[in-house]
Amino acid sequence: MTFARPWLLVLLVLPLVLGFVLYKPRSRRREVVRFADAGLLKELKMNPLPLWRRRLLFSGILVSMALMVVASAEPQRIGAIKSSRSTVVLALDISRSMLAEDVSPTRFAAAKSAAADFILAAPEEVDIGVVGFASGAYVIALPGTPREDIIKNLDAISLAPGTAIGEAIFTSLSMLDSNGWVQDPSNPSVSLPKRFGAIVLMSDGATNTGRPDADAVAAASVSEVRIYTVAFGTSGGFIVEENGRVMDVPAEPEPLEKIAAATTAESYTATTGEELSEVFSNLARTAAIDRGWRSVAHWFALAAVALLMLSALGWSRFAARI
């Protein structure tokens, strides 16, 4: 939790000082009783409030004052921020390792089916773009493309050798940049944020060509773009090359976990088509939700008012009466 106006927290000293003054032991009571008419005091029907109860009610007032000070400092926490429009780029691994049959019928067939579910399940206010990557990164569908056309484009994908995750991230960032920023009409040299963007990246391996992941992650961090990652496949995957040689292609989740962690996003693993569909269905609903600092001052203010009302009610009910 952080505060928008932390300097106002200095005012917390006021209820502390007031509490010290109110609870400070006094000797005046004895003097009053010494010079009072004892007979008169007996005739007066006093119902004094017990000391512990008075202190409890005073404490409620002091705590409510402290809560109001905290509320005025505007405490904030990370939370979901509603956006009228958002863009999510789905980056799919289309390397030849996706031909592995450790996932039925193949990793690639299961990934295409799950990707189609992701595209159809995303909220209407979310524009979907798709990038495919092998030795390089390729635009399969620009954000805003009709979803039926995006799914048709998925069916036309051809697999290729190599895995360039860094290039996929850079290409995805370019799509978000062109779709997510507009010029300020009053100052054309200034760009204003138009919509929130995120990347969902699925792969079964690690980068072996193109720019390093670290460079791409640094660029994403500067743009405040989160990259959700999904490692797909099992440790026992293999493919048979054209010359008959068997090549092991185990899934490698570690590099993807680092990418997600560096951009404050989540990483997932899926070893079956069903698990991948479940992960994609969840990301279709959550990846497009922006997160940022949200004010929670109203909760402190409500707590202060409620405590103050309870204290006032206590005084009206239990205060001493003559």
Q: Are 287 and 43 in contact (CB under 8 A)?
A: no
Instruction: Say yes or no: 6 and 138 in one domain.
Output: no
Instruction: Say yes or no: 136 and 160 in one domain.
Output: yes
Total domains, the chain? 2
* pLDDT of res. 9: 81
Instruction: Say yes or no: 74 and 88 in one domain.
Output: no
Extract the residue ranges of the chain whose pLDDT is less than 50: 30-31, 181-194, 320-322
Instruction: Say yes or no: 280 and 200 in one domain.
Output: yes
Check residue 231 and give left, alpha or beta (phi > 0: left; psi -120 to 50: alpha).
Answer: beta
* pLDDT of res. 39: 57
Instruction: Say yes or no: 124 and 251 in one domain.
Output: yes
Instruction: Say yes or no: 144 and 181 in one domain.
Output: yes
Task: HSE, CB side, 13 Å, CA atoms: give it for residue 14.
Answer: 14
CATH number at residue 117: 3.40.50.410
Q: Are 104 and 132 in contact (CB under 8 A)?
A: no
Instruction: Say yes or no: 51 and 120 in one domain.
Output: no
pTM for the complete prediction?
0.67
pLDDT tens, position by position, 122-154:
888 888 999 999 999 999 999 889 999 999 999
pLDDT tens, position by position, 74-102:
877 765 555 556 889 999 999 999 999 99
Domain span holding position 213: 84-288
